[in-house]
Each structure stands twice: as C-alpha cells, then as structure tokens.
Amino acid sequence: MMRHYTLSELEKLTGIKTATIRVWERRYNIIKPKRTDTNRRWYDDDGLRRLLNISVIYHSGIKISKIARYSESELEEKVEFLTRDSVVSDTHISSLIVAMLSFNINAVNEILLRSIINSGFEETFSDIVFPFLRRVGIMWHTGSVNTGGEHFISNIFRGRLISAIDSLPPANDPKSKRVIMFLPENELHELGLLFYSYLIRKSGHEVLYLGQATPFPALAEASEKWNSDILVTGVLSDLSISEPQEYLNNLSSTFKSQKILVAGSLADEPVIEKYNNIYPIRSVSDLKKHF
C-alpha cells in the first residue's frame, strides 16, 4: 500500500525544515509533491527515500545546487560512499530508514557493521540504533511505516544483540552480582532490555534473562530459587501496565532485599522516590552506576 507523507512528517523523518523543502522544490525541482483533490501536498515512499538520500549528501557539505543535478543512481552511489566511513549518527540513521523502507537486509547489516568497526558495538546501539528507533516510533504513530518494516529491522537488531551477548565470557568473579532481567506482562519491546543485558554481562556479572511478558509469580519463583541481587525491568509506555504505581508497590514489597532498577515510563513515575529499593534508569550512565 502506498503511504502518504505530509511536509511536517518529512521534516520529522529527514531533519530538513519544511521551509527548506519548499525552497528546494521551487528552485531545484529536487522532489515533486503529489496533490490531493483539495490541492494539498503529499509525498510517497520514493519521495521520502530521495529526500533522505539528499539529506545525507547535503549534511556532508555538498551544495544543494550540485545535488540537484545527480541522477537517482548517482544519489545512491554518493550516499553509499559517504556512509562507508562515516561516524555521523544522522547519516547512519537516515540510511537505516531508507534500508528499512525497502526491506534491504544487506544494507542494514552493512551500515551496522561499518558503525561497529568505526565506533564500537556499544556506541552503535546507544548513538545510532536507539535514536533510529525513536524516529521509527514517530513514523509508526503517523502511519509512515508499517508493522512489517518495524519488525523486519527490529529483528536484525535483536539478532545482533543476542550474538554479542553469546560471545561474552561467563562471569567468574566471586564478587559479581546476580541480575534477573525481565519485562512485565503485556510488554514485548525487549531491545532496550537486551542491550542492558549486554552491558551488564560485559561488566562481569551474571544475568538470568527472563525476557518479554514475565508473569509476576514466575518472576518471584525465579528470584527465590536463583538468589538474585538485582532486578532490572522497564516498559516502553504506560500502555503495558494499567496501574504503574501498584506494580511498583508489588515489586518493592515482594523483593525487599533486592535492588530494583526500572527503565522507560516506570522510571518517570512521580512516586518512584518514595521507594528505598527502586532506582530509575534513564540512561546508560544511570545503569552503570549500579555495577
């Protein structure tokens, strides 16, 4: 199905101001809007991909007057050349959006590999993958990306994280912590939890990964049998938990002897400061303070 993008959506997705897009249309004819019956502009997937590629090249310092003379193949070749050794996050994010829209698995893997080689695994996920996913969230809410595209690229990221976790050596320090990682029932977005699992494992601690949609009784049983020191959880939004405060109350009272780290919307609950064993995690640096 052909998706329609407004000028304001193009700005959010490409980082190019609507006024600038209008000027480029008028002066250089770089992108041709379609029109509704009421003469309102709209753009299709091809227009978005073209503007994303132009954005990458433009932000590399090339004048728009020169870019306007490039053919489609020249645009793609230039973007490929620029992203080959780039360490600029916005360049990679734009390239990932183009790859996602065309379901290009080779392009996604190549972008990730180049970034990992140039910047490192942790930096690739913190500086590129998660900012990219936040932008995809905007696209999803506006209907600019379908569920298939989101699942396609999320599963590539998931595979990379699992592979990286599996490559880490087991914890062998007697002082290492035992950490249970889980998501509450109805919460399925686990990329953030997997990334935190990688960071905790990398720092030399043991992890029992329960993953998505963990029932509370199963969590309590696992914690008791495994003798955990720390619990790590989170939710993408309050939609996953009907009563966030009640959930925090249950966590705090059930796991009195454990430190509990909560991320996502749980970290922003106003009552969180009243718990003496629950700590908000809003960044990687917040997480690392506890390990």
Domain ranges of the chain: 7-165, 169-288
pLDDT at 148: 81
Domain spanning 169-288: which CATH class is it, in words? alpha beta
Tokens 């609507």 correspond to what residue? 18
Q: Let me know the angle formed at the C-alpha of 93 by 88 and 98, rounded to the nearest 5 degrees.
A: 130
Alpha-carbon distance of 201 to 36, in angstroms, equals 53
Q: Is the pLDDT of residue 73 over 80?
A: yes
pLDDT at 247: 93
Residue 174: band (very low, low, confident or very high) from pLDDT cuts 50, 70, 90: confident
Q: Which has more confidence, 38 or 1?
A: 38
Q: Is the pLDDT of residue 139 over 90?
A: no
The two tokens of residue 6 are: 């407004």
pLDDT at 4: 76
- Average pLDDT on 103-109 reads 92
Alpha-carbon distance of 248 to 154, in angstroms, equals 28
pTM of the model: 0.77
For residues 179 and 189, the answer to whether their CB atoms sit within 8 Å is no
pLDDT at 276: 93
Tell whether the torsion through CA atoms of 211, 214, 217 and 218 is positive or negative: negative
- The number of residues making up the chain comes to 291
pLDDT at 142: 47
Average pLDDT, rounded, for the chain: 87
